[in-house]
Structure 1
């Protein structure tokens, strides 16, 4: 019996933050709009822009002053992440009405495997057009959706035509649509990889697909073979089920972790420290609530090109103290990531591992101030009780203040980043 061809969608909300803001500020209709960090703070960069601002040359991640030089009438709006999360959840609810295989990537993008739904709702293109119409009608924003038989080409399709469009990439047309585009348009081809490929005369996806795989492996290692596979439409990675209701109480606790796809890309160490502290605060609270200490701490990092890695280290003393866990996370990151050589970061995760009950006696260290550690642990537990009573953001550390992302609540939302390819 012949296996059914997969039908995968990739939905991308157009100019997501700016579109949501336009919807809530009708008086700004027809004006160039950009969502940006506070120019009085260190995060005065463009996070998102509407179509009009885009046409005037405004780019994501550039400084506000640069954007205003291109668009003198540019309206700057501070980000409202809780509002964006609400719209993201509403969009996913629409996706869930067609399939349970929904894998988010950030607040504005999701893959959907509708292979098992075509006999109920029609072809992949018909499902995509229905989703596009529903999101416009029910949410008031637009999406671009790619339809293909694999995740890589589905995402390529959602990027191919914007805004408010559906693009089908099939086995019959992918050479014309995908292969003629610049090699940098392919997922996982970052700036550094694109530069290496162009030096070898590979400037389009088609030339990448037709290059000898042995040469690509020689130039780029294992990644060269993977990119060749993607360019030829041979990606077989699954769309992972995303269950927002799953928590550690539903299974035997072997580790406690939290991950988040950040509302904006992270470009420097200060931004990473803020997110790591927010995540660690959540994990440390849950570790204390469960009555554990951890002997090992781990981080996971994923950049905007979906390249990812995990690192872990054994701790000097078993701990559930937030500061000690956060310092371990920051140390691991600084040791393994260099912004000058790598891309901006899109998601981070932390995990407490090798857990031990907190009441089990441990061997004290002569060179550690245990009295100070006990005071710190008691202080953390006092803050836990305040948060239980008044909300998770009622007591916050100074490092998380003064940034718009401080409105996020990882412990409550427990946002999960997508499963990677590697």
Structure 2
């Protein structure tokens, strides 16, 4: 009995600490996105991150967790556990339901933060709050139930997604793509006759620090998904996470040097993140060599995907789709190729496991991508009937910091602002 109590206590501490590491990633998202956008929109980024955390946690507590992990009969949606009450006895855990909720809450906050960057500098704050509620309460929990609930229909088919390349990153990435297309590009981003105008980041050192915080938090993201402090695989998960991220970063450095004759800093930052996203699904199931390959491919394809979006005049200020949507897709499919024998229910194609796992991974990826894209489009369309999704032209040109939130991100000591004018500017 004492050993069981000790094990439960250690697992609880491990899960709470790794949940805190994942929540710290919101600081990374805030700095990364604030550094990538223009100075006049830095406050708006920070405010959206606060929305992600505050509304995301409350909505997931009220309904999201129940839809994702509650009891069900058909593998489509959970129907117990609202407000963390009701029947949750089907969850076979060595930690309390509260502890498990905290860890999953950190995940749901990360999902909505992916979409935030794709619509930076032009989405209306009120519309973003409503969309956050829909994403954290319905879109993510329902598709997450299919993959991660024991009775989910994709889980029953054998889909493997250890920490969320599909459930979190592909979903968030394709939702970000839908949002970016729906809301349209920033004013002046694309000119006539296919001209592409680059919007210089306001603070690349700040964005780099954000990336480093995300890099740190990712070890909690992946290793914490064991839900056990005594799991023998924690070390391997951490190693594959490190190798894939390093490979994604190195590949983006070398590839941009060949392609642009200089290492492109924003692409290098996103290259490291692409490697992290790519390894998230298979970090517990693939070899070190496979992790390096997955990370490198993710870093290179991310650059190509960013260029592809620009040519189609889709404005994604932080590269959310290229990093999360594309790399999440690569990582999901890679499990079907590289899953080693004895690590999961099914073995990857390259280890003699046949086509079954790869086929299930592909099916799950397509389902999640379509679900994220379509539901985001429908949600924004619905919001548009009641509230403008995009800010006005004048608000966008002034910058959302002053026009929506009434305060600039940076000011000098001798600057004085008219309080009534600033606060009044946010009124409709």
Higher strand share: 1
**Higher Cα Rg: structure 1 or 2?**
1
Higher helix share: 2
TM tier relative to shorter chain: under 0.3
Q: TM-score, normalised by structure 2?
A: 0.26
